[in-house]
Amino acid sequence: MMRETHTLSHGSAHADKHLREKRFREGQRITWVSVVVNIVLTAMQLVVGFIAHSQSLIADAMHTLSDIVADGFVLFANRKGAEAADADHPYGHGRYETAASLVLGLLLAGTGAGILIAATGRLQDIGGTPTVGVAAMWAALVTLAAKEGLFRYMLAKAERLRSPMLVANAWHARADALSSLVVAAGIGGALIGFNFADAVAAIIVGAMIVRVGLRFAWEAIRELIDTGLSAEEVAAIGQTIAGTGGVLGLHELRTRRMAQQVLVDAHVQVNPRISVSEGHRVAESARQRVLDSHPEVLDVLVHVDAENDLLGNAAVELPDRAFLLEHLKGLLGGDPPGLERTTLHYLGTRVEAEVFLPAGFADDATLVAMKIRVETAMPDDPWFVAIRLNQIVAPN
């Protein structure tokens, strides 16, 4: 059985390097903008929160402070993810982004849990809490506007770069904006006489943060355990491969994500009697079609089969070429020259042989006798199901 494995060539290495460098520069720029904005907001929220006695604003400040720590993870992961593939990481360093997304999610969940615990404790002693100051409302509104603007800026850049890690960080900013909206509502309630509103707002913020964090962590875990693409995405890639000229069947199509890109494995069935070079061309054509039609795909591994090996692979139990050529000599009654040019087709549980005899090797009578000898032996032969004798025509 003819089997080959084909992987992505490195002809576009220069373009890939340029793309990695561009993604790295953009990712660093986006993240540093986030760091600067969050440092300013954290300082303002903490100062105003303590002065105005707003627990929800202080909780939001802790949330913003976690953003700064998260941005540090993003900066590190973005730098590592931009590195080219090496011997230890033949597919590149994209999983650093995935690991960073997991850490971001866990950090968010932990921060939210802490806010929930603190706010619940304050709600149980609402009578002993001081009145919230008006300055807290202004600080909440400024924070809300800044975080929503930061979210829109980061999401637009992240989607253009197709980076899940940067998208996750952008939605982190949106979670901040939503939490700031809740904080503003809670502070407003406290200002008009509902003293518990500030603590309730802090509880809502904590729950929102926990939910977002767990969602990001779960998505990262799904990627780390090689969860495949959706059924629709797999079907689209399958249609591209199956539509390649020379592909008779497709099976064992597998996919997995690596950060912003996708890895694909597929088995394609081709005509069992074509040459190895033609089978190679079919595989290369299928690979290139996927890369051209699905830009998110980083690498395609195409396994060429002469038959559908999901139904069994009896060919591996058959003898190798050297053994079969020796057996063939006995069937032919000698050792004709050029026997090493024989083509063997491993099909199911038996083998077909195409024997090419050199021009002038034998006269017609000898060749006919040899064919009769082979045909007589075929019904009881344990290995061959058919042997075709061909005599090469001498050039004029």
pLDDT beyond 90 at 8: no
Provide the pLDDT confidence category of residue 3 given band limits of 50, 70 and 90: very low
Domain final residue, candidates 308, 338, 370 = 308
User: Residue by residue, what is the 3-state secondary structure of the chain?
Assistant: CCCCEECCCCCCHHHHHHHHHHHHHHHHHHHHHHHHHHHHHHHHHHHHHHHHCCHHHHHHHHHHHHHHHHHHHHHHHHHHHCCCCCCCCCCCCCHHHHHHHHHHHHHHHHHHHHHHHHHHHHHCCHHHCCCCCHHHHHHHHHHHHHHHHHHHHHHHHHHHHCCHHHHHHHHHHHHHHHHHHHHHHHHHHHHCCCCCHHHHHHHHHHHHHHHHHHHHHHHHHHHHCCCCCCHHHHHHHHHHHHCCCCCCEEEEEEEEEECCEEEEEEEEECCCCCCHHHHHHHHHHHHHHHHHHCCCEEEEEEEEECCCHHHCCHHHHCCCHHHHHHHHHHHHCCCCCCHHHCEEEEECCEEEEEEEECCCCCCHHHHHHHHHHHHHHHHHCCCEEEEEEEECCCCC
* Residue with more model confidence, 263 or 108: 263
Question: Do 303 and 327 belong together in one domain?
Answer: no
Residues 293 and 374 reside in one and the same domain: no
The per-residue pLDDT for 262 is 86
Q: Are residues 276 and 137 in the same domain?
A: no
Residues 63-99 have pLDDT tens digits of 777 777 767 766 676 666 666 666 766 666 667 777 7
Query: Are 127 and 76 part of one and the same domain?
Result: yes
Q: Is residue 3 in some structural domain?
A: no
Average pLDDT over residues 212-238: 85
- For residue 247, being part of any structural domain is answered with yes
Residue 4 lies in a domain: no
Based on the fold, state whether residues 143 and 286 are members of the same structural domain.
no
Tell me if 1 is assigned to some domain.
no
- pLDDT over 70 at 249, yes or no: yes
2: in domain:
no
Same domain, 92 and 142: yes
Shared domain for 119 and 256, answered yes or no, is: no
74-83, 261-270, 349-358: segment of lowest average pLDDT = 74-83
Say which range, 100-104, 166-170, 286-290, has the weakest mean pLDDT.
Answer: 166-170
Other Cβ atoms less than 10 A from the Cβ of 239: the count is: 11
Structural domain boundaries, residue 83:
9-224
Q: What is the pLDDT of residue 1?
A: 40
Amino acid letter at 14?
H
